[in-house]
Amino acid sequence: MFESLQDSLQSAFRRLSGQAKLTEANMREGLQEVRKALLEADVSYKVVQNFIDSVSERALGEQVINAIRPTELVIKIVYDELVELMGPVDTSLHLKDFTKIMLCGLQGSGKTTTCAKLARMLKKNGKKPLLVAADLQRPAAIKQLQVLGEQIEVPVIADLNEKDPVALCRRAVKEAKASGADVAIFDTAGRLHIDDELMKQLQSIDNKVEPDQVYLVVDGMTGQDAVNSAKAFNDALELNGVILTKLDGDQRGGAVLSVKEVTGVPVKFLGVGEHIEELEPFSPEGMAGRILGQGDLAALAQRVGDVIDEDEQRRMQEELEKGEFTLVQFRSMLDQVGKMGPMNKLMGMMGGGKEVRDAMKDVDSDSQMKRIRGMIDSMTPDERRNPKKYIDVSRRRRIAAGSGVEPNEITDLIKMFEPMRDMMKKMNSMGPIAKMKYMRQMQREAMSNPNGQLKKEKVGTGKRLSPKEKAKLKKQKEKELRRLKRQKRRGD
């Protein structure tokens, strides 16, 4: 996906590299290339203009930090602005006891396929979805949905003799509720072009069946046309989200970048293949990373992160000192950590005992980090603050659906988080020396674990301690031992 956009951005950045300092002149030249790359990817002209304006504004305002080369700074700014352009995204389907979801779009955009993909995702997350064949234009459309329904073992409500889609949808809602289904997904008819008749039909379904969520399915291959049709649909129907399909080829992909800016409607999911499981929740960070080339970005972020994220680190430290460690802090920790290296290694270094390590054993891939981040993003502030207290079975399901994971992964996350929070709390109550010792102890523990990925660390600095220092250390040690004993007695 986006190979050509990637290539042209790379060459734009290459032009900037080698410049020792970011001046207005050389930056303008570099950004001119970025602009060209975006236009070639079929991003709308206005969007590109605004985008370049805000990137240059930020780049010029940014102090050029010694450790970072100008190119890198520009890439970082482009990345941030891309994320802003496409986000924020809420990939939750906002499920209730019974949820009606209507999919609409032009002919061949992928509505029917996407209905089935959504149903499969919901079913995997423990929901009971049901499909409604409300495209009565062609008998083949009904058959297509039925075949897909069979494939994923989800019931399909259809009636070859019905001519009125509103009547069918209303009947379907009753039947769906009676059958115990909790989500009904309506597959509606498409047209080659937007016309009054199609819009009227969709509006009357919208008015009389009152779907909770209306999603527009847009063929990602069609670039600007896709964005224009999205605008027309949104004017007529008030969409809750857009699902972009066919993003699996080497597309120009401009639609992904423009849709949100032009229509104000967020992209919720991406269709990335013909197969039924090829549906991804949309993530602006992931997409920006993909566009800029993941590898480069990771390497870059490592260096930039060291410098730029000092603020973030300081903020986190302050919060930690206040004794708070919630999933919010955990998330920013993941963000920081993601820039530094494999997760399990870092967690090993942080300590946190066997439970944390066991839970983190397999968490070393980028995608898993993204999943964890997605899960946290799908939570409410309360849930992030105190997951154990707030997240019950139904919330767990909602979060899982929202982030496209299995409910048990939410449980795993909470399990992993709890001991970590306790450890953070414990550490915060210690003095600096005790804290260091505690970390050491954790490290040693981590080293003795065959799964731990820590490198052996040289202990001791070689500096000889004076008798006074030794006595002080001994006292500290005894104090710490007494404290640990007390803790043990209390049973925590």
Residues that bind ligand GTP (CB under 6 A): 105, 107-113, 135, 141, 190, 245-246, 248, 271-274, 278
Picked from ligand GTP, Mg ion, none, the partner binding residue 110 (CB below 5 to 8 A depending on kind) is ligand GTP
Picked from Mg ion, ligand GTP, none, the partner binding residue 113 (CB below 5 to 8 A depending on kind) is ligand GTP
Contacts 24+ apart (CB under 8 A), 481-484: 483/434
DSSP string of 28-94, one letter each residue: HHHHHHHHHHHHHTT--HHHHHHHHHHHHHHHHHS---TTS-HHHHHHHHHHHHHHHHH--------
CB 259 within 8 Å of CB 265: yes
Q: How far is the CB of 255 from ligand GTP (least distance, A)?
A: 13
Distance between CA atoms of 115 and 25, rounded to whole angstroms?
A: 50
Q: How far is the CB of 132 from ligand GTP (least distance, A)?
A: 13
Q: How far is the CB of 110 from ligand GTP (least distance, A)?
A: 3
Sign of CA dihedral 480, 481, 482, 485: positive
CB 270 within 8 Å of CB 243: yes
The nearer residue to ligand GTP, 218 or 301, going by C-beta atoms, is 218
CB 370 within 8 Å of CB 282: no
Cβ atoms < 10 Å from Cβ of 148: 21
DSSP E strand boundaries for 160-249:
183-188, 213-219, 241-245
The nearer residue to ligand GTP, 108 or 341, going by C-beta atoms, is 108
Distance between CA atoms of 451 and 313, rounded to whole angstroms?
A: 28
The nearer residue to Mg ion, 111 or 339, going by C-beta atoms, is 111
Residues that bind Mg ion (CB under 5 A): 111-112, 141
Pairing of strands 279-281, 267-271: antiparallel
Q: How far is the CB of 153 from ligand GTP (least distance, A)?
A: 19
Report cis status (omega within 30 of 0) of the bond before 342. Answer: no
Picked from ligand GTP, Mg ion, none, the partner binding residue 273 (CB below 5 to 8 A depending on kind) is ligand GTP
The nearer residue to ligand GTP, 246 or 371, going by C-beta atoms, is 246
Q: How far is the CB of 76 from ligand GTP (least distance, A)?
A: 31
The tally of CA atoms less than 13 A away on the side-chain side of residue 4 is: 14
The nearer residue to Mg ion, 71 or 112, going by C-beta atoms, is 112
Q: Which residue is nearest to Mg ion (CB)?
A: 112
The nearer residue to Mg ion, 111 or 373, going by C-beta atoms, is 111
The nearer residue to ligand GTP, 110 or 374, going by C-beta atoms, is 110
Q: How far is the CB of 246 from ligand GTP (least distance, A)?
A: 4
Q: How far is the CB of 143 from Mg ion (least distance, A)?
A: 11
